[in-house]
């Protein structure tokens, strides 16, 4: 057995175990951590296939940013609903049967001739100086520039929508206005009063 | 090696102008206070007029490709873009009074409207799986957030979440199907996919597997039975102005989506045979279910949602005939439907006031006494939706039935006729409420100049086109035969 095959089976087993633990573990934090493991192992698999940019992006974006946010949310929410879980468990058998039938049907329709290991060519490995990242960058900014620009517009819409849906302007907030504090002068600070009672407003008078 | 060609920018001029104007409105709105929001509204309307002008001047009778063939400009795209632009403009005119007295009168409403249109135009001109998907996401993302724009209303938030989750699911279906087709053909460019599918039949099983998911995704976006669950809730829950936007212009984009993906990308041999069957089934189910359930509704927005499902069934049946005439008939149907939906939702917007939505059937009681003219316009719109001559809706239904019979499905054609008869009940009920019932909610109509005039034109257009249906239908046939 070649080293690359050995690596493939090693990572695949970890990936499958981690992915199934994501949906079977009882503690949501554990499930999230298993998802991190699954992403990381998938990234390792991609590296063995020579797609190092995608692998690094997966680790940086999903493991580094998305999953950290996810774990934050999971830890802040109190998700421990044994009762609901028991309700789901009643559905386990029918769901498993339906899913099993679907997988079997897909296998019969597609079979090995379409998705088998023999019909999928192994990636071509280039010389060590070949840069995956550079090639992707070249493609994105030349051939796929139109798609790239549309993706940018989608992000712009996402920003506009997120702000429009969440920004709340409060008029009665008590926060320091730093600019106001810095630009103050000594004359504005102290007011000399001739008679105390003249300038005290109604509220203060009540206090006195 | 791909080289940059400035001519690409010229071919995609309408989209580029729209993007620039959208960003301009977004920035300009920052300097506008709530009292002066009408400046943003006017800028948006002006932008739409300008884009319509650009599309008109830019159109040509040839097929042009740009951006390494990902963008295509042909007579179909020019026509559909112009119509989308027009319906968005009509939506803004109808919605003016409605949004001004509600919390959604913000700059984002106008910016997102422009970006929605951009998404539609990108879809209409897409020649590549990725661009189709990105355009669809741009359109959907803007619409999801617009549904939720009135933050205080619980129904709107519920509708937005439902729309978002089911929309994301549909996008997942689409992407999965596209990836399978990519696996079978090795290309994402639609003409390339078509040629590889016909020359290389080995991967056909995998492509068919992908096709099932692609059609399911399309059915979700169209709102065809059994993927229709989101339509009634979203139509009812969204503010009526947004419902109008969802229910009209995106139908053109959906039409283009089906046309590009199925007809241009997979319109030959075995693939054509398979998706014809799928669309036939979806169409029959939608026509039956939509018409039956609409009878039971008391909320007019919800009723129109079910009627949309039935209408989309007709649109799919045109495609399902698989002949060129059928595709032209579908386009004719889409134009007719959008025109009547614009009027019907426009009428709800026209009748609504501050704190009064006018979206219940009983709100239409006795309208003919309050205003015989607008009751007459509503009558024309309902006649057109029901398919009663001499309105144009009759010709649209007739042309679909003709191509279905021509394709050899006489049983399905008679089923569609019977279902339309059943559907006529709930359209005629509105007419009965308007003309023969006493007023229940005593809200007088007040004159709104712009939308009142447009509503009159819209209603009379149903009648006018009904007298001259051949002009529009033959135009649709002509531009379709350019591309296939």
Domain boundaries, chain B: 6-483
* pLDDT level of residue B1 (50, 70, 90 thresholds): very low
Q: Give the DSSP per-residue string, B185-198.
A: HS--BHHHHHHHHH
Chain B contact for A155, CB < 8 A? no
**What tens digit of pLDDT does each residue of B174-217 get?**
999 999 999 888 899 999 999 988 887 777 888 898 999 999 99
**What tens digit of pLDDT does each residue of B379-395 get?**
999 999 999 988 999 99
pLDDT of residue A202: 54
Using a CB-CB cut-off of 8 Å, the residues of chain B touching A113 are 205
Using a CB-CB cut-off of 8 Å, the residues of chain B touching A154 are 134, 137-138, 141
Using a CB-CB cut-off of 8 Å, the residues of chain B touching A115 are 183, 206
B67 with A111: Cβ contact below 8 A: no
CATH of the domain at A52: 1.20.120.1200
pLDDT of residue A181: 82
**What tens digit of pLDDT does each residue of B301-320 get?**
999 999 999 999 999 999 99
The interface predicted TM-score of the complex, written ipTM, equals 0.92
On the question of pLDDT at A199 being above 70, the answer is no
pLDDT of residue B235: 95
**What tens digit of pLDDT does each residue of B138-178 get?**
999 999 999 998 887 889 999 999 999 999 999 999 999 99
Supply the DSSP symbol for B356: B
pLDDT of residue A207: 54
Mutate to test the interface with B, among A144, A150, A151, A155 (most CBs of B within 10 A): A150
Percent of chain B surpassing pLDDT 90: 71
What span, in angstroms and rounded, lies between the C-alpha atoms of B167 and B147? 13
Residue A199 is assigned to a structural domain of this protein: no
Mutate to test the interface with A, among B73, B113, B133, B137 (most CBs of A within 10 A): B137
Using a CB-CB cut-off of 8 Å, the residues of chain A touching B108 are 160-161, 163-164
* pLDDT level of residue B300 (50, 70, 90 thresholds): very high
What span, in angstroms and rounded, lies between the C-alpha atoms of B351 and B6? 49
Q: Is A81 left (phi over 0), alpha (psi -120 to 50) or beta?
A: beta
Question: The dihedral of CA B331, B337, B338, B339: what is its sign?
Answer: positive
pLDDT of residue A189: 74
What span, in angstroms and rounded, lies between the C-alpha atoms of B260 and A133? 32
Residue A207 is assigned to a structural domain of this protein: no
Q: Is B269 left (phi over 0), alpha (psi -120 to 50) or beta?
A: left
Count of CB pairs separated by less than 8 Å, A with B: 81
Query: Residue B365 has which token pair?
Result: 């009681």
Residue A67 is assigned to a structural domain of this protein: yes
Chain B contact for A164, CB < 8 A? yes
On the question of pLDDT at A72 being above 70, the answer is yes
Q: Let me know if A167 is exposed, middle or buried by CB neighbors in 10 A (0-12, 13-18, 19+).
A: exposed
What span, in angstroms and rounded, lies between the C-alpha atoms of B93 and B80? 20
SS3 B65: strand
| Domain count along chain A | 3
Q: Are A40 and A55 within 8 A, CB to CB?
A: no
What's the mean pLDDT when you consider all of chain B?
91
Range of the domain at A27: 1-80
Nearest-CA distance from A71 to chain B in Å? Answer: 21
- Same-domain status, A54 and A76: yes
pLDDT of residue B484: 77
**What tens digit of pLDDT does each residue of B101-126 get?**
888 888 999 999 999 999 999 999 99
A109 with B205: Cβ contact below 8 A: yes
- Same-domain status, A45 and A15: yes
When pLDDT is averaged across residues A144-159 and rounded to a whole number, the result is 95
Nearest-CA distance from B8 to chain A in Å? Answer: 10
Residues contacting residue A30 through CB under 8 Å, at least 6 positions apart? A21
pLDDT of residue A128: 76
pLDDT of residue A171: 72
* pLDDT level of residue B352 (50, 70, 90 thresholds): confident
Give Cα separations from B7 to B12, B50, B64, B99, B192 (angstroms).
9, 21, 11, 41, 23
- Same-domain status, A151 and A87: no
On the question of pLDDT at A206 being above 70, the answer is no
Mutate to test the interface with A, among B151, B181, B212 (most CBs of A within 10 A): B151
- Same-domain status, A6 and A52: yes
Neighbours of A128 (CB within 10 A): 6
Q: Where are the alpha helices (DSSP H) in B101-203?
A: 107-124, 129-147, 154-185, 190-199
Per the DSSP assignment, residues forming a β-bridge with B360 are: B299
- Same-domain status, A9 and A69: yes
- Same-domain status, A76 and A140: no
Percent of chain B surpassing pLDDT 70: 97
Q: Are B178 and B217 within 8 A, CB to CB?
A: no
A157 with B115: Cβ contact below 8 A: yes
- Same-domain status, A7 and A65: yes
- Same-domain status, A89 and A162: no
């Amino acid at each position: 057995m070649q080293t690359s095959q050995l690596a493939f089976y090693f990572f695949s087993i970890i990936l499958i175990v981690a992915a199934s633990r994501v949906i079977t573990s009882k503690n949501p934090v554990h499930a999230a951590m298993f998802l991190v493991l699954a992403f990381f192992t998938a990234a390792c698999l991609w590296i063995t296939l020579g797609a190092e940019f995608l692998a690094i992006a997966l680790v940086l974006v999903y493991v580094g940013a998305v999953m950290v946010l996810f774990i934050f949310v999971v830890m802040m929410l109190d998700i421990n609903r044994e009762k609901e879980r028991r309700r789901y468990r009643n559905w386990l058998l029918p769901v498993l049967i339906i899913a099993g039938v679907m997988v079997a049907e897909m296998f019969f329709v597609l079979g090995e001739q379409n998705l088998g290991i023999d019909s999928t060519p192994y990636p071509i490995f280039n010389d060590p100086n070949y840069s995956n990242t550079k090639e992707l960058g070249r493609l994105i900014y030349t051939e796929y520039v139109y798609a790239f620009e549309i993706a940018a517009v989608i992000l712009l819409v996402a920003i506009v929508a997120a702000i429009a849906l969440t920004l709340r302007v409060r008029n009665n907030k008590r926060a320091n206005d730093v600019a106001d504090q810095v630009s103050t002068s000594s004359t504005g600070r102290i007011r000399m009063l001739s008679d105390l009672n003249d300038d005290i407003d109604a509220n203060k008078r009540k206090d006195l | 090696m791909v080289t940059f060609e400035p001519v690409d920018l010229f071919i995609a001029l309408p989209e580029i102008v729209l993007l620039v104007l959208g960003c301009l409105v977004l920035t300009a709105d920052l300097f506008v206070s709530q009292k002066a929001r009408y400046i943003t509204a006017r800028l948006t309307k002006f932008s739409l007029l300008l884009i319509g002008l650009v599309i008109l001047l830019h159109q040509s009778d040839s097929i042009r490709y740009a951006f390494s063939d990902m963008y295509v400009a042909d007579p179909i795209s020019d026509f559909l873009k112009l119509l989308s632009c027009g319906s968005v403009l009509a939506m803004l005119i109808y919605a003016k009074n409605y949004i001004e007295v509600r919390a959604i009168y913000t700059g984002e409403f106008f910016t997102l409207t422009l970006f929605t249109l951009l998404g539609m135009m990108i879809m209409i001109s897409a020649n590549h799986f990725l661009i189709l998907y990105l355009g669809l996401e741009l359109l959907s993302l803007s619409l999801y957030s617009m549904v939720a724009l009135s933050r205080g209303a619980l129904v709107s938030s519920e509708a937005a979440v439902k729309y978002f989750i089911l929309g994301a699911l549909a996008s997942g279906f689409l992407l999965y199907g596209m990836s399978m087709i990519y696996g079978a053909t090795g290309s994402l460019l639609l003409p390339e996919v078509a040629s590889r599918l016909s020359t290389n039949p080995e991967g056909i099983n995998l492509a068919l597997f992908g096709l099932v998911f692609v059609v399911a995704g399309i059915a979700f976006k169209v709102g065809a039975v059994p993927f229709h669950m989101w339509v009634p809730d979203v139509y009812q829950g969204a503010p009526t102005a947004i419902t109008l936007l969802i229910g009209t212009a995106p139908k053109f984009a959906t039409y283009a989506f089906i046309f590009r993906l199925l007809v241009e990308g997979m319109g030959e041999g075995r693939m054509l045979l398979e998706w014809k069957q799928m669309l036939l089934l979806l169409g029959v189910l939608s026509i039956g279910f939509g018409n039956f359930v609409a009878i039971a509704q008391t909320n007019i927005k919800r009723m129109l949602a079910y009627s949309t499902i039935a209408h989309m069934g007709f649109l799919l049946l045109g495609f399902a005939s698989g002949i060129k005439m059928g595709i032209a008939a579908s386009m004719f149907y889409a134009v007719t439907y959008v025109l009547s939906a614009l009027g019907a939702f426009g009428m709800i917007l026209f009748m609504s006031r501050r704190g009064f939505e006018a979206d219940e059937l009983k709100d239409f009681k006795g309208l003919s006494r309050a205003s015989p003219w607008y009751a007459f316009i509503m009558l024309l719109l309902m006649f057109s939706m029901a398919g009663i001559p001499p309105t144009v809706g009759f010709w649209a239904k007739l042309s679909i039935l003709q191509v279905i019979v021509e394709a050899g499905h006489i049983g399905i054609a008679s089923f569609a006729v019977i279902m339309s008869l059943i559907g006529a009940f709930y359209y005629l009920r509105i007419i009965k409420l308007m003309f023969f019932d006493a007023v229940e909610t005593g809200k007088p109509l007040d004159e709104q100049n712009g939308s009142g005039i447009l509503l009159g034109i819209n209603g009379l257009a149903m009648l006018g086109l009904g007298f001259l249906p051949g002009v529009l239908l033959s135009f649709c046939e002509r531009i379709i035969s350019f591309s296939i």
